[in-house]
Amino acid sequence: MKTLLTLILIALTTVGFSQTDCKPYVPIEKGTQWEVTSYDKKDKVTGRTVYELLDLVEGDAKSTFSIKAMQYDDKDELIYTNEFEAWCENGKFQIDMAYMINGEQMQAYESMDVEVDATKFEVPTLDEPAGTALPDGEVTVTVRSSGVQMFKMTVEVVDRLIEGRETQTTDAGTFDCVVFSQTVKTRMIVKVEGSSKEWYAENVGVVRSESYNKKGNLTGYNVLTSITAP
């Protein structure tokens, strides 16, 4: 999909980032690592994801962030590694929806051919007002073995809405966040629908996220627990 006092310093400095009209929701110093810890509804740790900014390519109209995600299970064993991109372009920050892939689900298919088809997931600025609707996103994962399709999963994120701004404090620090909610539809053998709420901070990313089932009951949550600059 991670120690954070240093990240605050990064957020307060320019670090030469040229896209002044776009506020990135990832760290902007190459080599920065940040960790997001996952919990179930009873506050038990279920895993963690360590992210690293591998590269930042800046242009006059577009800047591209290359990110690596390493997912660990509740026994702290590495179960999935993924790389994806994020972009600042035309004043908007977007993330490749591939970042939503669940490593636990993909672990059984690591020896097979995996194809990921993902759209861009837009993250709003802190200045946008509550009630603003956001574009939908979708990612489809197709797994094949010897050319035969074994597995297909589609995740749609719809009904995205800005809730407002809130301050969140974690072990990593205190952050001013934009908050938005969304409906999440997952199709595999059966269709499962739920919802989520996410808190994003500029130059950081997800500080907190919460997942709910169709009845609106909390099923789990994720918290930013550390950020370390190189």
pLDDT tens for 28-80 read 999 999 999 999 999 999 999 999 999 999 988 899 999 999 999 999 999 88
pLDDT, one tens digit per residue, over 165-197 is 999 999 999 999 999 999 999 887 788 899 999
Percent of the chain with pLDDT over 90: 54
SS3 string of 92-136? EEEEEHHHHCCHHHHHHHCCCEEEEEECEEEECCCCCCCCCEECC
pLDDT digits (tens, 9 = 90+) for 114-172: 666 667 888 888 888 999 999 898 888 787 777 777 678 788 889 999 999 999 999 99
Helix, strand, coil proportions of the chain in percent (round to 5)? 10, 60, 30
Q: Which numeric CATH code is attached to 5-228?
A: 2.40.360.20
Q: What is the mean pLDDT of residues 6-30?
A: 58
Asked which of 13-17, 96-100, 116-120 is least confident by mean pLDDT, the reply is 13-17
Instruction: Quickly state the pLDDT bin for 82 (edges 50, 70, 90).
Output: confident
> For residues 103 and 186, what is the distance between their CA atoms, to the nearest angstrom?
15
Q: Among all chains, which residue has been given the structure tokens 């636990």?
A: 104
Give domain limits for the chain. Answer: 5-228
Q: What's this model's pTM, rounded to 2 decimal places?
A: 0.81
